[in-house]
């Protein structure tokens, strides 16, 4: 029986995680959850499980939730997320599932590592901004970090039983996002609604926009570099519009091992939750009689400047990754609130990165300071 501490329970990944917990009540015990703006969902989940802790946005929401669940410990804010991550410090069966969106997931991840708690990570922004800190801490502690992100989960599966020193490259597939068939010129007039209709995946709003700009693929390349300790030169994106092959590992002998399945996040989530066991999944199996072809196309970096920028920021290193992420979080939020156009996301992020003087190996404090400053500058300028 695993005890699940779930950050971001009310989101797309969080809700699918709960579906799996409900399907296998003898395997998982949900102990604690966090939510942010969706109190209704939080209450719905809280009513189904006997929880020990709920973390909410702020003091006010904490009072609301306390009324509903007087016997559950209610915490709030960033501090609350950290308390949840390290609740029951000595729980040997405890696993943290980090399904938060944004770099707010970094501190709780660090807290869990410090108490030697394994983490199933969906929250890629954590590694984008703090991969150097997370990896350094993992070396000192017993905690393990397992990926939920479908590409990384596929790579992890394709590495089972292999000598990872014999890996030549990782091939990270990309659907191309909502606008994959549009030219850059056509992007000038796209709307929020268009951007939110992803052809293959039904995900949270931020990652759906990140997929349309392909910043998501840039983040995933950085994520893979930290997770698998592989040089970024050997991590290659590849457009594969069907999202059937979730990624591939190329070995020195020329063999390429791919993981395939219908695009459904419940598979990577449950693979990570049950690892090293495999279970009968809730997802629809692949039917090769119905797949007429699988398509592949090299990435055009001029078409997706944020993908190129993310790779460049990783190469520059240090706080450039913080700025990349902070500007992107702010710009995507502005786009979701219809304050800026789609192409302004790129403009804002490129501008922030170009104006930054990098700090090598930024500390957690420096990361949070830079994040705050960059977001404030962008919101002050555009949030009118």
Distance CA 291, CA 289 (A): 6
3-class DSSP assignment, residue 13: helix
Question: Considering only residues 84, 85, 99, 244, which one is a binding residue for ligand NDP as defined by CB under 6 A?
Answer: 99
Give the binding range for ligand NDP (CB under 6 A) out of 9-17, 68-76, 161-169, 253-261.
9-17
Judge whether 353 and 327 are in contact, CB under 8 Å. yes
Counting residues that bind ligand NDP (by CB under 6 A) gives: 30
- Indicate the DSSP class of residue 357: P
201 binds, among ligand NDP, Mg ion, none (CB under 5 to 8 A by kind): ligand NDP
Q: Which is nearer to Mg ion, 172 or 327 (CB)?
A: 172
Is 76 one of the binding residues for ligand NDP (CB under 6 A)?
Answer: no
Give the binding range for ligand NDP (CB under 6 A) out of 19-27, 121-129, 308-316, 342-350.
121-129
Is 12 one of the binding residues for ligand NDP (CB under 6 A)?
Answer: yes
Question: Considering only residues 3, 4, 5, 8, which one is a binding residue for ligand NDP as defined by CB under 6 A?
Answer: 8
Region 120-149 residues binding Mg ion, contact defined as CB under 5 A: 149
Is 101 one of the binding residues for ligand NDP (CB under 6 A)?
Answer: yes
Burial environment of residue 194 by CB neighbours within 10 A (0 to 12, 13 to 18, 19 or more): middle
Tokens of 187: 């992007």
Min separation Cβ 104 and ligand NDP, Å: 4
10 binds, among ligand NDP, Mg ion, none (CB under 5 to 8 A by kind): ligand NDP
Where are the extended beta strands (E) located within the chain?
Answer: 2-7, 28-34, 53-56, 73-76, 94-98, 118-121, 145-147, 167-174, 235-239, 245-251, 256-260
96 binds, among Mg ion, ligand NDP, none (CB under 5 to 8 A by kind): none
DSSP 290-339: T------B---TTT-HHHHHHHHHHHH-TTHHHHHHHHHHHHHHHHHTTS
Give the binding range for Mg ion (CB under 5 A) out of 91-99, 150-158, 161-169, 321-329.
150-158
Judge whether 263 and 244 are in contact, CB under 8 Å. yes
Distance CA 181, CA 185 (A): 12
Region 136-195 residues binding ligand NDP, contact defined as CB under 6 A: 149-150
- Contact positions vs ligand NDP (CB under 6 A): 8-14, 34-38, 99-102, 104, 122-125, 149-150, 201, 203-207, 265
Positions touching Mg ion (CB under 5 A) are 149-151
């Amino acid at each position: 029986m695993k005890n699940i501490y779930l950050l971001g329970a009310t989101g797309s990944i969080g809700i699918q995680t709960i579906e799996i917990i409900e399907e296998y009540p003898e395997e998982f015990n949900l102990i604690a959850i966090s939510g942010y703006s969706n109190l209704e969902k939080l209450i719905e989940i809280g009513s189904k499980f006997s929880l020990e802790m709920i973390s909410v946005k702020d003091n006010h929401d904490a009072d609301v939730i306390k009324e509903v669940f007087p016997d559950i410990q209610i915490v709030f804010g960033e501090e609350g997320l950290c308390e949840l991550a390290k609740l029951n410090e000595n729980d040997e069966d405890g696993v943290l599932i980090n399904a938060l969106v944004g770099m707010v997931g970094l501190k709780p991840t660090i807290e869990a590592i410090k108490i030697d708690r394994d983490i199933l990570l969906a929250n890629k922004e954590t590694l984008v901004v703090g991969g150097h800190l997370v990896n350094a801490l993992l070396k000192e502690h017993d905690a393990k970090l397992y990926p939920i992100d479908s590409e990384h989960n596929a790579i992890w599966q394709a590495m089972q039983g292999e000598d990872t020193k014999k890996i030549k490259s990782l091939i990270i597939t990309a659907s191309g996002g909502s606008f994959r068939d549009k030219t850059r010129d056509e992007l000038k007039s796209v709307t929020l609604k268009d951007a939110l209709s992803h052809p293959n995946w039904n995900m949270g709003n931020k990652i759906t926009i990140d997929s349309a700009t392909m910043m998501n693929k840039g983040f995933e390349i950085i994520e893979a570099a930290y997770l698998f300790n592989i040089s970024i030169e050997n991590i290659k994106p590849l457009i594969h519009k069907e999202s059937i092959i979730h990624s591939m590992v190329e070995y020195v002998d020329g063999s390429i091992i791919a993981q395939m399945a219908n695009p459904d996040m419940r598979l990577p989530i449950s693979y990570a939750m049950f690892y090293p066991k495999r279970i009968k999944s809730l997802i629809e199996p692949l039917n090769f009689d119905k797949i007429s072809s699988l398509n592949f196309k090299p990435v055009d970096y001029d078409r997706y400047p944020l993908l190129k920028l993310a790779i460049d920021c990783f190469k520059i290193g240090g706080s450039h990754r913080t700025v990349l992420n902070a500007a992107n979080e702010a710009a995507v939020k502005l786009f979701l609130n219809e304050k800026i156009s789609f192409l302004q996301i790129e403009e804002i992020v490129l501008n922030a990165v170009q104006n930054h003087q990098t700090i090598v190996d930024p500390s957690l404090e420096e990361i949070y300071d830079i994040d705050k400053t960059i977001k404030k500058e962008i919101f002050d300028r555009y949030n009118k």
